[in-house]
Structure 1
Amino acid sequence: MSQLCPRVFSSLLHTTMNQTLCGLMLVLSCFAGGIFEYADGPNTQVMSAEEQAFRFSANIINRNRTLLPNTTLTYDIQRIHFHDSFEATKKACDQLALGVVAIFGPSQGSCTNAVQSICNALEVPHIQLRWKHHPLDNKDTFYVNLYPDYASLSHAILDLVQYLKWRSATVVYDDSTGLIRLQELIMAPSRYNIRLKIRQLPLDTDDARPLLKEMKRGREFRIIFDCSHLMAAQILKQAMAMGMMTEYYHFIFTTLDLYALDLEPYRYSGVNLTGFRILNVENPHVSSIIEKWSMERLQSAPKAELGLLDGVMMTDAALLYDAVHVVSVCYQRAPQMTVNSLQCHRHKAWRFGGRFMNFIKEAQWEGLTGRIVFNKTSGLRTDFDLDIISLKEDGLEKVAGCSRSRLLVSFQVGAWSPSDGLNITEISKGRGPNVTDSLSNRSLIVTTVLEEPFVMFRKSDTALFGNDRFEGYCIDLLKELAIILGFTYEIRLVEDGKYGAQDEKGQWNGMIKELIDHKADLAVAPLTITHVREKAIDFSKPFMTLGVSILYRKPNGTNPSVFSFLNPLSPDIWMYILLAYLGVSCVLFVIARFSPYEWYDAHPCNPGSDIVENNFTLLNSFWFGMGALMQQGSELMPKALSTRIIGGIWWFFTLIIISSYTANLAAFLTVERMESPIDSADDLAKQTKIEYGAVKDGATMTFFKKSKISTFEKMWAFMSSKPTALVKNNEEGIQRTLTADYALLMESTTIEYITQRNCNLTQIGGLIDSKGYGIGTPMGSPYRDKITIAILQLQEEDKLHVMKEKWWRGNGCPEDENKEASALGIQNIGGIFIVLAAGLVLSVFVAMVEFIYKLRKTAEREQVLISSRVAYSRRNVYMHEVSISPPHSRSKNLKELVRAHQETSNYLINITDTNSPSHAQWLSGAHETRGLLLCFSPLPCVSWCSKWKVLLRAQPEIKASCPRDGLDR
């Protein structure tokens, strides 16, 4: 008992002294605790970056009395093993017993959770420096986290991906929490047109080469890595060894320590490397603090971590520096606050803990990592600014405020904040017209295919090597691009000799495959820009525009036929002219009969005459129309206004028709017509006699294969059904066109070149479509935009046109010297003579028919001999003098003859035979009753027949005259 009492007394005395000492410390200093993991094993004395930053920050605060003018910041530091949560709990309880106002750290997940639970129970603020997943049902409130919230950071990554116009990407994470951190990005495919492939880094090993090899084989060029900065250094090193550090790859790292990596080996690789940085290095005050930190860090001679720059301030160190300052400022602003020693087993909370925690959550501070603002509910840092940095030739360049002029990559960099989003700064300001930065002094592999006149083997008596073996339009274009952009190149012919097409399995061949596999940097050839190819590779702006047309054998010329004078007008027009002629003639006849002004007095000298006449009989109307049509006119002239209108309109019609006919007649009589069995793609589609096709696996074949137009679908069905329709290359197709009945569908530029040099071939029809030739580059290549600008420059300088004239201009096809286009032979106008001869024969035949017909009709009516002759009267009209003599036998009674004649004919009879008084007496009676005109003069009597318009002379015989009521005395 005597021995126990001194021990109890000693313990009580020690406790009382500690409490007294703590009370003095609370009055004179701010006591903080820090728990950090070992830097390199439990037995080393090397401080971790976080521990050194904790000490560094406390020293800066104590030297700067403006923050804590009456208080000194003191601290207690404890070190623990990684993932040892029991040890972390014990160290936290020890520091709480000392009366700390806050605990900083640790960083690892399990240790952080243990310390956070104790601090929450005793209501002491817990300051966290790395991202930690907090469940929605988390009830712990006594903590703040200075690391940017990953929900916002993931949104920043998504904004960058959208700006870069990525349509596909691969997301690689290192642990299970990576899927939680990148949740905003992983959900992007459901809201944006982005295809994501998710992969995980191998666990418990730093060897990522199997995964990198798999991604390289799968042609995954756009990759987002969510891993630590140490793993990022290993990935870059292994990717370099596997040949993935090229300009075709684009890596985005989510770690905020990318700037701290040693990127010197990758600066000139051309790789697109992008990351984020929260350290505000452009602030002069921040720069001075970082410089002091680097000097102190280097003096402490720590063991440099593999792949990191020496002396650089990491993000964790900067966050810890800011955290210590925020707690110190809040402690200074919290008056009348005392700190007591807290015991973990008693569960008695610090009575000022809630108040102090609110001070911290409401704090606003501008630190090394920019603006510091916490969410008052969750304690997370959601409002912050990020710099987007990219690897340049001069190292890592910041997004905004960049003043350096030598920039390597082709995309822009900028800044991001939760409120403003992505803000990109143009990096091309200050550049000259020729953008040569990323291609200068680079050696590129150029794939091409032999195709005249684009790429051809140079003809030479000596052996040629390398690029000197080739010549052509594309070779000249490549030389001009190399001069503008300053690169060198090596030309390689594609192995399979194809341009590039996709098979049923989606695999490409030809030059497209070489670009996809990165066996070539450029494809300079007559490579057509198509929608399907744009999904596999990138194209520059077209350097030549063209379309698909038909190459066919030139048809043999045919001489005009003897009836070629009918060719100037189509058969339809000839038919319409004939119908118009008949219609106008008939209308003229009818209108002339109706119009009173077309009728005139036949005997104007006889005032008592009421007989009128009309010149436009049906036959005369046709004769009038024929005369006007033949440009000859006629003796018939219309008198009425209505008939003159018809005549004028008909004359105008014939004027236009004859003028058009005459103007077109010379071409049809003098030009040798080229008759082709096909004139367009429609003609090809409608027939099967002429076989047609295109180059296999070429852009023309793809055009017909993908077309939805019915004509082109029909043509593709024909080509695909015949194995011989598709040819291997243009040379084979041209040979088939010359030797067989075959039509080749190909680009118009190639047809133009071929027809200039082969006069047996010609282009049929116009262009079926419109497209262009472009220079192909691998997907995401930084060279595309530079080449496009150079092509536009060549176009503005008219060099593209000069190069085309150089390679397309040929000698032309010789003219036929023996052919005289102006000389007309019998084969041209022989048909006119045939028409003339046929007209003469027809007129003779018609005359004979008229004569026989008239003779027969007269004989039937009069039963007498008929004789006829034609003469002119004083009125300039035709006169028919008809003499009918009685039979030589005068025994026949004259009275019976007259009666018989009147029963069979409409003729009136003039009788001049007065030898018989009975005849005269009878005829006189007949005249009174029958209205006959009798002439009793012994001399010939003349009478005018107005109806027939003939002058009749009556001899002392029986004379046939006019129809009844048509005789003028």
Structure 2
Amino acid sequence: FSLRHSLAGNRTSAFEAISSATETGRSLSVARVGRSSTDASYDKYLMRMRLAELLLLCLATAFSSCLTAALGLKTEDDKVFRVGAVLESGDTVLEIALRRAVEVANGVLDRSKNLHGYRLVPDIRRISDSDSFNASLEVCSLLETGVVAIVGPTSGQASEQVRSVCEYFAVPHIETNWNYRLPRPNHYTVNLSPHFETYSQALSDYIKTMVPATRTAVIYDDPDSLLKFEGLLNAADSPVLVRQWAKRSGTYKYVMKELRAARISRFLVDIPVKKLVRFMIIAKEMNMTSEYNSYIFTAWDVNRVDLSDFQVIRGSNFSTLTLLPSVPPDAKYDRGPIVEQMRNEIYRAEREKRDYSSLLFNMLPTAAATLFDSIMLLASGLNQLTTSQVVRPQRLSCQAPRQEMWTAGPSLLNFMRSMPGDIAQQTLTGPVTFDGDWKRVNFSLYAYELTASGFSELGKWHSLDGFNLTKRFEDTKEEYIKILQNRTLRVTTVADAPFVKIKETDEKGVPLPHPSAWDGFCIDMLNLIAQQVGFNYTVHLVKDGNYGAVNGSNEDGRETWNGMIGELINHEADLAIASLTITYERERVIDFTTPYMSLGLSIMFKRPEKSKPHLFSFLQPLSVPVWGYMLAAYVIVSFVLFVVARVSPYEWQNPHPCEPDNNEVENQFSLLNSLWFNAGSLMQQGSEISPRALSTRLISGIWWFFTLIMISSYTANLAAFLTVERMQSPIESAEDLAKQTKIKYGTLYGGSTYQFFKRAKIEVFRKMWNYMSKRPEVFVNRTGDGIARVKQGGYAFILESTMNEYYAERNCDLMRVGGLLDSKGYGIGLPTGSPYRDALSEAILKFQKEQDLENLRRKWWREMDIQTRCEDVAPDSQGPAGLGIDQVAGVYVVLAIGTAVGVLVMAMEFGLKFMKRADEDRQPLATEFIQELKFAISCFGSSTRPANHLADRARQLRSQTGSGRERQAMRLASSVDASMDDGVFPSPPFEEAAAAAADARLPSQPRNGGGRRRQGGYEMALQTPPSARRSQQQPPPPPPPPLQQQQSFEFGGAQFALASDSPSAMQVRMAGPRRAGSSYRDQFPN
């Protein structure tokens, strides 16, 4: 058993010894034959001697091994760590990488303290492709040699078989291919490729950053590789088409035909590098390499393939993610001469074998780099393991009755999770670190894009920081500008003034495609952009005349679009330029440039006739409730003033200050006077009444302050209401439209405005949409049709504010109602992923900054095609217009009504007064009225008259002669008698009237009981009234109380007492039997 074990443990040394002994025996045999070639017995002797020598050599070798093991001595073979490898036949790349990696790793071991003098030795076994059975035999054979790790193979089934055996014996297994399967809890596989979940996240970040959103297709070769796209597929907003790159009827073209029919422009391609060129050729033949197509290759080493024949094919985008950064041919990896030697050897081997149809340059493949780093990781693990225990290779057998695991395997694998910094600097794929599930962390992926000069780096993705763009925007812009230069772009449009207008057509009426055959704001703007960027273009009208909306779905359930949007999606046009609104729905299927014009939805309505001010427009500055409040305030304050004045003792004053002994006081604030006082204040006029008490003055001051504010506010608003002729529109906003159904309203069918209301969530807009959707007749197919309906009246058209402004400037019957319903912009539409978007957007921003677009807007909105300006609609800029009779007619009406009411009141006063006077004068009312009216309307008459009408009549009597004079005298005497009977004693003019009446009597008239008295310079002769004569037969009444300066006189048979309290007042009392005790008071000057 010891001999067997020794031979098994020193298999190579034993084989070398046997070979040496065999050569020695052969040389001896030849020499012997030369001496005696015919001696047969001697030949048998030589044979026996050779076998004896061989036996003695084997015994000596076995004894030496046993002695060394017994004494614990180390031989040269004990300082060897074998690294097994199971590779497919013809796989020279990994073999070269393994041998060169071992050389570099041995240098690392030599520089270490614990493993100085140790070395790694590769043991490579070959199998046929995907031969899992022979792979099992070879891995068992390697285990019997005491290997510390096993590399390969690359085929899936064979690699899985080797992985399971290594896990059973706890021997690290190094994989170089991408393992898509989830790692088991206790696996022993070391794979430096990213885990598929991590790669999927990196791919998703790259697509979100660099590739425009569009429909995506996945093309794969190995079904296991679909795990790369698991996260991306789960997070996709739209369905992703997945197809396998497999032949059907000997060709791959059917795959590309299906993808082209699906109008997919972004492709995620995961096929082996050796099939890449064939894929590109088919894509080019199927016309799927335009500037709108984007290809992302997920297999390693795409950047090593020469794709010069496909560089910038009409701007198509080709990119890839790689674990190994690219190094130009004239640069080095900076990892020492051995790595450069490996690089050159692999390049020559690949060129000789023609594994790829074309290699770009001598760049290391990713598999060789990961194997190189894995061997460095193994050397690092062995170095760290020897610090804690003695590492001895263990020979394991797959046929042993009692199979054992390698005791140092778990510890070695644990130390291989990470490497020190000095060793990490020598790796090709960056520092190597694994988490608890043996998923590589803290690493980077590099993004490369195919340009005119080859693959160039776009950015770098890190597992911790995400994607970081390293390519300068200026470089990308220059590349796209180069693509645009001298290109002829196809432009689709809709003829809609002032944006696009047709100038020239052919014989059939079809617009010519040349730019000079078109005009409008958009055409002028496009000319500026084309001159700035350097491209040419042709223009054609969209086939169906629509801007673009969803009009159904195809067999796959995808939305189909009409109009300009549909042509962009189908790549029938490169640009769509018109009054094309940028919306969320359109942004999902196409790209837009920076908005070149901002706008919003507005309501177009027919301009109403100017409403003339109504008769009482002067009342408009204050609303009806305010007028009511003012009236209520006037009444309430007047009443409060009346009450306060009555209560306050300081408002009661002596009406005759010169009579201090007067016991009567007077209050001037009666209810009517209070109303009159407040009315005068309100009208900014005065009155003869003034408050005296502090309380009444306080109330009056507050009322004056109130009237000041109200009158000032009224005056300030009065000018605006009288000078501005307002247009009374039945609608003022979208809310007004939604509240009524009399006025119809609608939008352009299928346009952005239509979609806005269809998807509205605001209650007002939803209500409007419900109204419009139930009445399809309110929608129009063209803007001109909607404007025509507005002119007819009873219809409101909802459209963009720019169009509303344009047509309102040219038609004074149209106007915009209310404000903007939303905010959006016009942009130039491009197919998704178009490389021209950034260049066009930059040009638009430049022209906006230089105000070129504003000048174009002013040209097409304010100057072009305007025959009649609506200047009369706008306010007069030279100043306010004068007031016409329409504005102030109401004031005249109020004046006329007030005057008429005053005249009516005068007539009532006149009638009541002269009805009583006619009764006193004993003459008809008509005669009395005519006489008084003649005096009143006399233009040149006196402005004064007697205070008593009897004196006035006396003057008239003196001026008369004849019989008429006698009749008038009799009537005057009767009036005097009646006045005395009524106890009315007028002032001294009464005496004049009595004298005139006495003088006018005829001589035949008796004068019974009459008397004459001269008073005041004239003589009065009065006839005693009958009532006085009757009263003489009765006893006289008691005398009145004495008065100051009392005088008595007799008049008309009656006794009177005259007393004077002051020079301006006199009191007359009847001393006779008539109304005893009554007193009358009268005031008259002097």
Residue deviations 1:518-571 (CA, integer Å, cap 9, x gap): 333433322223333333334444332222222222223344455544455544
1:496 maps to 2:555: no
Q: Which of 250, 269, 286 is the aligned partner of 1:242?
A: 286
Which stretches in structure 2 are left out of the alignment for 5+ residues? Answer: 1-43, 66-74, 554-558, 936-943, 954-969, 984-1022
Check conservation: 1:439, 1:487, Cα contact below 8 A.
no
Find 1:622's aligned residue among 626, 650, 675: 675
Aligned to 2:88: 37
User: Which of 510, 516, 530 lines up with 1:468 in the alignment?
Assistant: 516
One-letter amino acid of the counterpart of residue 499, structure 2: F
1:50 and 1:317 in contact (8 A); partners too: yes
Residues 1:224 and 1:12: Cα distance change in structure 2 (over 3 Å)? farther
Judged with a 3 Å threshold, the aligned counterparts in structure 2 of structure 1 residues 786 and 723 are, in CA distance, closer, same or farther, namely same
When residues 147 and 835 of structure 1 are mapped into structure 2, their CA distance, relative to the original with a 3 A threshold, is closer
- Structure 2 residue 771 is matched with structure 1 residue 726: no
| Deviation at residue 918 of structure 1 after TM alignment | 5.0
Are 1:121 and 1:349, in contact at CA under 8 Å, matched by a contact in 2?
A: no
Query: Which of 184, 191, 200 matches 1:145?
Result: 191
Cα deviation, 1:384-412, whole Å, max 9, x if unaligned, reads 4433333344322335xxxxxxxxxxxxx
Greater Cα shift, 808-817 or 77-86: 808-817
Deviation at 1:457, TM superposition (A): 2.1
Quick one: which of 449, 457, 461 aligns to 1:398?
A: 457
Shift in CA distance, 666/341, structure 1 to aligned 2, threshold 3 Å: closer
Whether the aligned pair in 2 keeps the contact of 1:279 and 1:315 (CA below 8 Å) is yes
d(CA) in 2 for partners of 1:99, 1:21: 21
Do the aligned partners of residues 556 and 113 (structure 1) sit closer, same or farther apart at CA in structure 2, a change above 3 Å counting?
closer
Which residue identity is paired with 1:245?
A: T
Q: How high is the TM-score relative to the length of structure 1?
A: 0.78
- Residues 661 and 380 from structure 1, CA distance in 2 versus in 1: closer, same or farther, beyond 3 angstroms? closer
After the TM superposition, which of the residue ranges 250-259 and 479-488 deviates more from structure 2? 479-488
Structure 1 residues 613, 493: CA separation in 2 closer, same or farther (over 3 Å shift)? same
- Tell me the residue number matched to 2:471: 427
Q: Name the residue aligned to 2:999.
A: none
Does residue 636 in structure 1 map to residue 689 in structure 2?
Answer: yes
- 1:263 and 2:318 matched: no
Distance 1:954 1:257, change over 3 A: same
Structure 2 CA distance for aligned equivalents of residues 18 and 256 of structure 1: 54
Q: Is the Cα–Cα contact under 8 Å of residues 1069 and 1078 in structure 2 kept in the other structure?
A: no
Cα deviations by residue, 1:44-100 (Å, 9 ceiling, x for unpaired): xxx643334345556778999968986787655443322222233344455566776
1:706 to 756, 759, 763: 759
Q: For 1:301-351, what per-residue CA distance to the aligned partner results, in whole angstroms no more than 9, with x for missing partners? A: 513234541544322223334445555777799998777887654478799
Choose 850-859 or 780-789, whichever is displaced more: 850-859
Paired residues of 1:500 and 1:509 also in contact (CA < 8 A):
yes
In the other structure, the counterpart of 2:823 is 770
1:470-500: CA deviations, max 9, x gaps? 2222223333334444444443432222222
Q: Does the 8 Å contact 2:576/2:829 carry over to 1? A: yes
Aligned with residue 369 of structure 2, among 280, 296, 318? 318
Q: Find out whether 1:478 has 2:531 as its counterpart.
A: no
* Pairing 1:545–2:591 present: no
Structure 2 counterpart of 1:199, from 238, 242, 249? 242
Residues 557 and 674 in structure 1, CA contact (< 8 A), matched pair in contact too: yes
Partner of 2:461 in structure 1? 415
2:286 is the alignment partner of 1:229? no
- How has the CA–CA distance of structure 1 residues 9 and 159 changed in structure 2, closer, same or farther, with 3 Å as cutoff? farther
Q: In structure 2, do the counterparts of structure 1 residues 439 and 959 end up closer, same or farther at CA, with 3 Å as the change threshold?
A: farther
Q: Give 1:416 deviation, angstroms.
A: 1.8
Change (3 A) 1:855 1:245: same
Within 5 Å, which residues of 2 pair with 1:805-884?
A: 805-810=858-863, 811=866, 812-813=869-870, 815=872, 822=881, 826-853=885-912
Q: Aligned-pair distance for 1:685?
A: 3.0
* Map 1:602-613 → 2, pairs under 5 A: 602-613=655-666
Aligned residue in 2 for 1:906: none
Q: In structure 1, what is the Cα distance between the partners aligned to 2:848 and 2:1076? A: 96
Contact 1:213 1:242 in 2 (8 A): yes
SS of the residue corresponding to residue 666 of structure 2 reads: strand
Aligned residues with identical type, % of pairs: 35
Whether the aligned pair in 2 keeps the contact of 1:521 and 1:777 (CA below 8 Å) is yes
Query: Alpha carbons of 1:581 and 1:381: their partners in 2 closer, same or farther (altered >3 Å)?
Result: closer
Q: 1:697 offset after TM fit, Å?
A: 1.3
Cα separation, 2, equivalents of 1:77 and 1:641:
124
CA distance in 2, matches of 1:108, 1:58: 23
Whether the 8 Å contact between 2:480 and 2:835 is mirrored in structure 1 is no
The number of equivalent residue pairs is 917
Counterpart among 454, 457, 463 of residue 499 in structure 2? 454
Q: Is the 8 A contact 1:878 1:950 kept in 2?
A: no
Aligned pair 1:85/2:132, yes or no?
Answer: yes
Question: Aligned partners of 1:21 and 1:208: how far apart in 2?
Answer: 67
Shift of 1:582: 3.5
Residue identity in the other structure for 1:697: G
The one-letter amino acid of 1:752's match is E
Note the C-alpha offset of 1:18: 13
**Cα shift at 1:130:** 1.5
Q: Give, in whole Å, the separation in 2 of the partners of 1:105 and 1:708.
A: 61
Code of the residue aligned with 2:457 in structure 1: it is K
The structure with more helix, counted as a fraction of residues: 2
Asked if structure 2 preserves the Cα contact closer than 8 Å seen for 1:30 and 1:74, the reply is yes
Residue in structure 2 matched with residue 49 of structure 1 by the alignment: 93
Distance in 2 of aligned mates of 1:559 and 1:340: 113
Matched letter for residue 297 of structure 2: F
Q: Do 1:30 and 1:331's aligned partners in 2 also have CA atoms closer than 8 Å?
A: no
- Counterparts in 2 of 1:13-32, with a 5 A limit? 16=58, 26=77, 32=83
Q: SS of the counterpart of 2:815?
A: strand
1:319 is aligned with what amino acid?
Answer: T
CA distance in 2, matches of 1:314, 1:503: 50
How far apart are residue 424 of structure 1 and its match?
0.8
- The DSSP-based 3-state class of the residue aligned with 2:561 is coil
Q: How does 1:285-684 map to 2 (within 5 A)?
A: 285-286=334-335, 291-297=340-346, 299-300=348-349, 301-309=351-359, 311-324=362-375, 344-346=398-400, 353-355=406-408, 358-359=411-412, 362-363=415-416, 364=419, 365-366=423-424, 367-371=426-430, 373=432, 384-398=443-457, 413-417=459-463, 420-428=464-472, 440-441=484-485, 443-458=488-503, 465-503=513-551, 506-665=559-718, 668-669=721-722, 671-684=724-737
Contact 1:445 / 1:521 at 8 angstroms: preserved in 2? yes
Cα deviation for residue 735 of structure 1 reads: 1.9
Using the TM superposition, give the Cα deviation of residue 595 of structure 1 relative to its aligned residue in structure 2, in angstroms: 3.3
- The 3-state SS of whatever aligns with 1:106 is coil
The equivalent of 1:695 in structure 2 is 748
The answer for the alignment partner of 1:42 in structure 2 is none
Q: Which has the higher contact order (CA 8 A, sep 6+)?
A: 1
Question: Higher mean Cα deviation, 261-270 or 275-284?
Answer: 275-284
Show the counterpart of 1:402.
none
Q: Which residue is 1:686 aligned to?
A: 739
Aligned-pair CA distance for 1:846? 2.0
Amino acid at match of 1:756: E
Cα RMSD of the aligned pairs, angstroms, is 5.5
**Which amino acid letter does the alignment assign opposite residue 108 of structure 1?**
S
TM-score with structure 2 setting the length? 0.71
Q: Which moved more, 1:487-496 or 1:367-376?
A: 367-376
Preserved CA contact (<8 Å) 1:105 1:112: yes
Query: Does the CA contact (< 8 Å) of 1:886 and 1:957 recur in 2?
Result: no
- 8 A Cα contact 1:455 1:475, kept in partner: yes
Q: Which runs of 5+ in 1 are unaligned?
A: 40-46, 400-412, 899-910
1:176-207 deviation per Cα after TM superposition (whole angstroms, max 9, x unaligned): 42355555556x54xxx866637241556695
In structure 1, what residue type is equivalent to 2:759? K
User: Displacement of 1:108 after TM fit?
Assistant: 0.9
